[in-house]
Structures are given as C-alpha cells and as structure tokens.
Amino acid sequence: MRVLLINPRFQLPIDTRTTPHLGLAYLAAVSERRGDEVRVFDMDVEEVRLTDFVRDYQPDIVGITSNTPQVKQGWYAAREIKSVLDVTIVQGGPHVSALPEESASRPEIDIVARGEGEETWLNLCEVVERAKAANAKFSSRDLLDPANHLLDDVLGITYQTPDGRIKHNHERPAIADLDALPFPAYHFFKMERYTSLQPAMDAIERGKSFSLMTSRGCPYRCTFCSQSVMAEKWRARSPESVVKEWAHLVHDLGAQEIGILDDSANIQRARLHDLSQRLIDAKLNHVPWILINGIRANLADEDLLRHMKQAGLKRLAFGVETGDEDILESIDKRVTHDQIRQAFKNAKKVGLETVGFFIIGLPGDTEETMEKTIRFACELDPLVANFSMMTPYPGTKVWEQVHRNGGRMLVKDWQDYVFFEGKARYEMGETTAAAQEKKWKEAYRRFYLRPHRVLMTLTRKSTWQHFPRTLSMALKIVLPKKTKDQVKAALDEARAATN
C-alpha cells in the first residue's frame, strides 16, 4: 500500500520553530514496518503543491494530523486531495479527538481517529488493503457504508455513513507496551529544512535536532490542558529502549540536540535516575537535551536534577501557571508555590537553564491576581518566561466552564487559537478581555525590561546569532506600541546588514 502522512500548515504570528512531527514519525515507522510504501508531506516545509504530489504518488490512504489551530488547514488539505483523487482520508490529533463529529461530518474527511493513533492507523490500513484487493472498483464511500461492515471492528474511530448518521466506534485502549513501537522514522522527513527545538536560544545545525518520547499519558488533569483529551494512564518505555533510540539519534543521525516531549517526564524519579546513569555509561551525555514540556515541580528534587545535568540535560521547564494560591488550587495543578520555588532553586543550583510557563486570564483571574502572576515570575526569574493568554481548548474543563457559566468566547475561527497572539480568547466575569490583554503585554515588558534581564539578553550569544528574530519577537510582544516604529527601523537596518 502507498501511504501518505500530512502535517498541515501551522500559521503562527511570529517566526517560530519547525520540527518534524513526532506523531507522524511514529505513524510512518509503523507503516514502514508493516511493509507499506510511505511518504510524509509536511506543509510547513514543502515547496511543491500538494495536488501535484498526490497526482504523482497516488496514495491508497492518507493520514492528516491536526491540533486546534491546524484543523481547518487539515480540512483544506483533504479537500485539495479529494479534488484530484478518490482516496480514504483519516484525520487524527487532539482537536478531532475532542470534537470528532465536527470533522467526521465534513465531506472531505472519511474517518476520524481518536486518541493515540498507531494501532488504529494500522487497523485502517489493513481494512483498506483488504477492501481494495476484493473490489477493483473500491471507493472511499464503500468503506463508510454500514452494509459492508468494513469498519465494525475498528476501535477508536468516528465516521459519517452515506445516509448522514455519525458512528462512534468503541474507544481503543492506550498502547500498553511502548517498547513495542518502532523508533520514529525521521528518514521520511526533509530534515535539512527544520530548525532547532528552541531556535531563539540555541544555534543548532539544520536537521540535527530531534524529538524523543520516553513516556506517554499524564495522571494529572489540569483544567486548562489540551492533553486531557488524550490517554490518562501514564506509561513509560524501558530505559534500555530509550537509550537504544538515543544512541541511534546520536550515532546514526548525528543529533546535536534532543528534545524530550513527554507530558509528565518525572512521574517516576527512579526511572529518570536509571536513564541518566545509562546515558552517562553509554557516553551519550555530550549531546545536550532539553525537557521541552513542563515537568512536575513537586518531583524535581536536587539529586535528580543534578543527575540529569550530569547526563547532559541542558534546560528544563516548569508549568507555574499562576501566582495566586486560590487560582492555582482551582486549576487542579496539585502543586504549591513553595514547591515551585524550591524546584527553580534546585535547577539553578545544579546549573540548569530554566523555562517558566505562565498563564494570564485563567478563570477567576482579576487584575489583582494577574499582578501576582507577574510578580511571581519576576521572583522565580527563569531564563525564559513564557506568558500566554488563557485559551479554552475543546475538551478541557476550562472550555466547559466558559460555556456553562455564562462566559463568552471571543475567537470565531479555530485558526485564531494560536500562541503569541496578543488577543484574549474569552472573557468571563472579572476575567475581562481588556484586563487579560493589558496584563499580558505588561508581563512581558516588566519581566524582560528589568535592567539585569536586559544585560543578560545583550550578553547572551544567541541574541546576536538570531538578532533580527529577537527584535521581531520584541516588536510583537514585549515593547509598548509607541516604541514599535523605532524598533522596526532597527530591525530593517539589522536585516539589511545581514543581506
């Protein structure tokens, strides 16, 4: 079978990273192991037209991944494909897992895959392969006809029958043995077109930055987190499996940086101690690695962080979210401010770079509580403070709160659910749009324009390696409006000097 996997265009208001999609890399790997011919089409980096590619390749099945800001781009891609080829199109990802009927009811989408995708994808590939072998005139519509019973036993899917009924098949259990999955198939990506994982901070040769997953799932259910629509049960790969893939990335693919994308990497501290020691013993600790997503602050003791630092860890992140104790409790974070303070102290003591994630505009936030968040960020003083305005994603508890408690969504299009855009997404009670936007801009200015932060920025090598980008980001989110013309002039001058 000819398999095509697509990452739709992800349109952001700032220049940000482009990295191979880990989920698609896993789907490519399981398809390759099944014996399929595989192609990955990442619309963020491809230069050819999708329709031209599809006409030439003639896939038997297409998989499209989509988070919320991408979902419409996924529909557009599917529509383009259907205009030139009758092929089964499957859409997966967090957004469609939360709102499966929305995509399943669209004429360009045949099937929605809910939750983790590998086993469902393989099951669908087998069904399509058998159906095409049995019927030379097979069409994607045949797959959806209940009279044919082709999809009856496929778990974890939603689809619309030809007569307009939405069918939700039973949930598929989360994959229990993650070691059974093949390593992500990065050789299907045009690696030379991708940046590093955090390009504003690191100068990594293109195509030498890789993502890695050591565990899946999260037992915590923070009210704002879009991952709450995915598997709750936390499962880990064995340290042996992780180190084997790590060695493959370093020795075979020349990795200069590895980013860990686990949602809850430090649930089991003993496992991380074991992994760290194995990386040291295997002499893999010369390649820096980063914990991209926030780890649990209450489980970040000094001994563990020191051991991970010795194993090559360069930077880690903590989800702080808010500086108000009552708001912190209301979002079900299950951590205290004192535990967060101690985690940052531990990280800095052992020499790790820190990133703090903060949310402006959580339900119940007022200007007073948002002020506490800004002050707490300045107190913790991470290397990077990432302030985002609360975005109620489908499937989260905050989404339900807004819709049940008289809140008002201010975004009318899924493409507006992007980060770094200085616009409030909702308002409810005292959490007004005006207050959120005011405090968000203030947060960036007050954090980054403190004298010691300005000096730190000016003396950091990456500032000058990415000078135009740094100024562009400042123009977007840091500086007040009255200074933007001056900064734009400096940006234009800097760009001219580099050309």
Average pLDDT over residues 2-27: 83
pLDDT recorded at residue 482: 46
Least confident interval from 246-250, 310-314, 483-487: 483-487
pLDDT band at 488 (very low <50, low <70, confident <90, very high): very low
In this structure, are 142 and 40 located in the same domain? yes
Total number of domains constituting the chain: 2
- What residue numbers bound the domain in which 15 lies? 2-168
In this structure, are 427 and 387 located in the same domain? yes
In a domain, 40, yes or no: yes
In this structure, are 336 and 439 located in the same domain? yes
Q: From CA 283, how far away is CA 214, in angstroms rounded?
A: 19
In this structure, are 256 and 112 located in the same domain? no
Average pLDDT, the chain: 90
In this structure, are 331 and 441 located in the same domain? yes
In this structure, are 245 and 290 located in the same domain? yes
Q: From CA 15, how far away is CA 337, in angstroms rounded?
A: 33
Burial of residue 355 (CB within 10 Å: 0-12, 13-18, 19+) is buried
Residue 77 near residue 44 (C-beta atoms within 8 A):
no
Q: Which CATH number do you get for residue 57?
A: 3.40.50.280
Per-residue pLDDT tens over the stretch 161-216: 999 999 999 999 999 999 999 999 999 999 999 887 776 677 778 889 999 999 99
Per-residue pLDDT tens over the stretch 422-468: 889 999 999 999 999 999 999 999 999 999 999 888 887 666 666 66
SS3 261: coil
pLDDT recorded at residue 410: 93
| The residue to which tokens 């999609």 are assigned | 21
369 or 499: which carries more pLDDT confidence? Answer: 369
Chain centre to alpha carbon of residue 395: 16
Q: Which CATH number do you get for residue 438?
A: 3.20.20.70
Instruction: Give the chain's end-to-end CA distance (angstroms, integer).
Output: 46
In a domain, 234, yes or no: yes
In this structure, are 261 and 150 located in the same domain? no
